[in-house]
Amino acid sequence: MSEQRQKRRRTESGAVDASLDAPSGPIIQPVSDDQLRAVDLLNKLEHKELSLILKSVFLINEASAKIFLQQSTKFKTCVKWKKMWTVNNIGTAVTISQRPKGVSLEDTPIFEYNSFTTRTKGPSPNLHLFKINSRLMTDVKEYKVAKLSEISPYQKREVEVEKDVKVLLTNVEGKIYATAHKCTHYGAPLINGVLNSDGRIVCPWHGACFNVKTGDIEDAPALDALPTFQVRIDGDDIYVTASAETLKKGRRPPTCKSKGGESNEKVVIVGAGASGLAAAEGLREFGFGGKITLLGAEPHLPIDRTKLSKALPTDISKIQWRDEAFFKDLNIEVKPSTQVVSVDKSAKSVKTANGDVVNYDRLILAAGSKAKRLPMDGFKLKNVFVMRTVEDVKKITEARDAEGGKKNIVIVGSSFIGMETATALAKDHNVTIIGQDPVPLKPILGEKIGKFLQDLQEGNGVKFHMEAKIKDAYPSEKDSSLAGGILLEDGTKIPADFIVLGVGVAPDTEFLKNSGFSLEKDGGVSVDEYLRVKGEENIYAVGDIAHFPYMGHSGGANGQPLRIEHWNVAQNHGRTAALHISGKPQPFTNVPIFWSAQGLQLRYCGNTVNGYDDIVIQGSMEDKKFAAFYTKGEEVQAVFSVQYDPAVTKSSELMRVGQMPKKSQLAEMDIKNAPLTKPLV
C-alpha cells in the first residue's frame, strides 16, 4: 500500500494528517504587526495542524486570534478533532465528534455553527461542523466600552462602540455580558426592557424574551436571536470584541441543534401561521432530527399577520417572516396553498383539497382562525370585506384607492381589528364604527378604558354608533351588486362606499368535525398543559384553536380551560409543542401578552378569565400615559397600558415569578419607574 494511501486511511479513521488538507506553508504572509502578533498567538495552539490551517487560509488579526485561543482551550480536552479542510474557498471547517457541552462557539465572531448528520460518511453517526469564517475574522475589533464599577449587579447599560453602533451590557450575577442592543422583533431598545437575575431580558414593547448569556430566544414574538459578543475585563475597564458586520446586523438565526436527516419520524403541521411557524422552527431549535412538513392554506410563506389591520400592507415581501432559503437550510418542507380537508387518525395521515395524502407520526394542528361574517343577504355584496388575509387587505386598499376621492367607510365591530382598521383608514377618509356594546372593547377592558379609546378615535375623526342593532346592508342605487350602506333596526341609514367586517374570528376547524375529534362549542380543541389533544398521544393543537389550562399568572390562575387569540400566545404554544415532541417537555405557563396600535401604543398582559372588581390607574389618562391594573380582591389579574412602557412587560415578569404587587401596594409605587427591590428569580 502506498504511503499516500496509508495516510488517507489514517485520516478516515480519525487521525488528523494536516498535510492532506492544508498547504505546507502560508498562502498570505502577515504584513502588519497586528497580524504578526496573531500568528505568534496561533503558534501556541496545541493542535499544530489546526494552527497551520488557520494561518495559511486567511489573513487574521490579533483580536480574532485571541478569541480562537480562548474558545479552543474550552473544548480541546473534550473533543477529538477529526478532519480539517477549506469550504467553498470561504473559510476553514473542523468536523468534531460531538458538540462540546457548555461551549457556545457559534456566538463568537469567528465560528458559524452548522450541523449535519447521517448524510456525512464516516465512523460517527452524528457530526457537527464549525465553519471558521475568514471574512468575519478580518473584521473583528476590540472596543473599550465602559467601567465595571459603573454597572451594578442586575443593571444594564447601552454603550456606543462606534458612531451610531451600540451594544447592550448587562451584569448578571457579577458577570458582564454583551449583546445587540435592540429587540430582533420590531427593534425596541432593550435598555428600556426588564432584566431578570437569571439573565432573561424582556423587550419593553411586545414581551419578546432573550437570554443575555447566549442570546437565545426564551419567549415569542421574536424569531431571531441576539448576537452575543466576547467580553474582557482588565481592572475596571470593560472591553468588547465584535465584528462590524455582526454589530450592524444586530440579529442571528436561532441556534438549531438539528437540521434533520437523523431519524425517520415525521411531523406534519397543519397551518403556517404564528403557531405553525414557531412549532416548525422550534423543532429544529430543540433538536428534532426527523422530517417536518408545514402545510399552509394561504398562497405564500408565513407572514406577520399582526401588521395587516395596523398598516394595510399588500407587499408580501415586507411582512414575510422567512424566505425559501431559510426553510431549505433547516430541511423544513413548506407547502403553501395546501388546504387540509380531513384527518385519518387510525392511518396517521391528513388529506388535502387536491387529494394528496400526507402521513405523519406526530401531528400539530395549527389551523388558526377564520373571520366571521354576518348572515344577512346584504353582507354578501361585493364591497363587503373582512380583515384576515393579505388578499382581504388588497380588496380593501383597492376600494379605498378607487376613483372618487375621500370615501365613506363603515366598519362593523368595535373589536381590536375594527379599531385598528379604523386608525389605518381615518386619516384620509370618513370612517364610522358600528358596535353593539356601550363603548368599544368593554368586555375586555371595561367601560372606563373603552370610553378612553373611543374618545381617542373620535379625536381623529372617527364616528361611532354604539349599542346599535343592524338590520342589513342595503344595495347601492348606482350598482345593486354593491352595498350602499347599512340600515339599523331603528331606521338609521349609514352610507358607505365599502364595508369592513370586524365581528370576530372562529377556530378554523371545520376539517376536524368528521375526523373523530371532539370539539368545544366554539369549534376549539381541548388540550393538556403540553398542548396535546386530550385523549391523543401524538396529536397537538396550538394557537387560536386550543382550549388550554390557563396558568399564566400567580393571581388566581388555576388551570381553567381558556382559548386566547393572541399572536404571542400562538407562537409560544408552537414552541411548547415542539419542546414536547423533542423530548424536552415543559408545561405552558406563559403570561399572555398582546399589543395594539390605535394612534398610540397599547399593551396588555394577563387575563381576566376570573373576572375583576376594580381598576387601579397609575399615570395620567388625561395625558394619555398610564397603566390600568385589573384587580380581584388584592390580586392583579391583568395590566393594560397606554404609552407607559415597560409597565406591561415588567408586570408580566412579576406575574411569572409570583412577585406581582398586591392591589394595596400599587398606591405606593409606580410599576414603570420603581426599581426592583430584589432580583427576579
With b for 16 or more beta-carbon neighbours within 10 A and e for fewer, the 405-440 pattern comes to eebbbbbbbbbbbbbbbbbbbbeebbbbbbbeeebb
**Euclidean distance between CA atoms 554 and 120, whole angstroms:** 49
User: Residue 622: what residue type?
Assistant: E
Considering Cα of 277, then 283, then 284, then 289, what sign does the dihedral take? negative
Closest CA to 484 of 496, 471, 500, 499: 496
**Residue 643, number of CB atoms within 10 A of its CB:** 15
In this prediction, residue 333 carries a pLDDT of 98
User: Is there a contact between 105 and 114 (Cβ–Cβ < 8 Å)?
Assistant: no
Architecture of domain 140-249: 3-layer Sandwich (2.102)
pLDDT (0 to 100) of residue 610: 87
DSSP 8-state secondary structure symbol assigned to residue 72: H
Residue 65: predicted pLDDT: 52
Q: What is the pLDDT of residues 128-153, one digit of tens each?
A: 333 344 444 446 788 999 999 999 99
Contacts of 679 (CB under 8 A, 6+ apart): 153, 154, 196, 197
The phi and psi torsions of 466 (rounded to 5 degrees) equal -100, 160
The per-residue pLDDT for range 287-322, each reduced to its tens digit, is 999 999 999 999 999 999 999 999 999 999 999 999
What was the pLDDT predicted at 95? 35
CB count within 10 Å of CB 468 equals 19
Comparing C-alpha atoms, which of 507, 544, 500, 272 is closest to residue 393?
Answer: 500
For residue 332 the three cell numbers come to 423544513
Domain parsing of the chain, residue ranges: 3-137, 140-249, 266-370+507-581, 377-503, 593-666
- The two beta strands, 291-295 and 266-270, are parallel
Of 595, 571, 612, residue with least CA distance to 646: 595
Asked whether the CA dihedral 110, 115, 119, 124 is positive or negative, the reply is: positive
Sort 678 into a burial class: Cβ within 10 Å, 0-12 / 13-18 / 19+: exposed
Show the cell assigned to 557: 390562575
For the chain, the C-alpha Rg in angstroms (whole number) is 28
The answer to whether domain 266-370+507-581 and domain 377-503 are alike in fold is yes
CB atoms within 10 A of CB 63: 25
Superfamily of domain 593-666: FAD/NAD-linked reductase, C-terminal dimerisation domain (3.30.390.30)
Q: How many CB atoms lie within 10 A of CB 614?
A: 11
Q: What is the DSSP letter of 622?
A: T
pLDDT reported for residue 559: 87
Check if the beta carbon of residue 577 is closer than 8 Å to that of residue 364. Answer: yes
C-alpha cell at 537: 398521544
Beta sheet of 470-475, edge-to-edge order: 470-475, 483-488, 493-495
| Residues of the chain scoring pLDDT < 50 | 1-32, 35, 46-61, 71-138, 677, 681
CATH code that applies to domain 377-503: 3.50.50.60
Please check whether residue 627 is in contact with residue 617, taking contact to mean a CB–CB distance below 8 angstroms. Answer: yes
Domain 266-370+507-581 belongs to what topology?
Answer: FAD/NAD(P)-binding domain (3.50.50)
Sheet strands side by side (includes 91-96)? 81-87, 91-96, 127-133, 111-116
Distance CA 581, CA 274 (A): 18
The DSSP secondary-structure symbol of 598 reads S
CB 401 within 8 Å of CB 430: no
Determine the Cα–Cα distance for residues 565 and 384; give it in Å rounded to an integer: 24
Query: Which residues fall within 8 angstroms of residue 343, CB to CB, at 6 or more apart?
Result: 270, 349, 350, 351, 363, 511, 512, 515, 516, 517
Q: 607: closest CA among 440, 454, 450, 445? A: 445
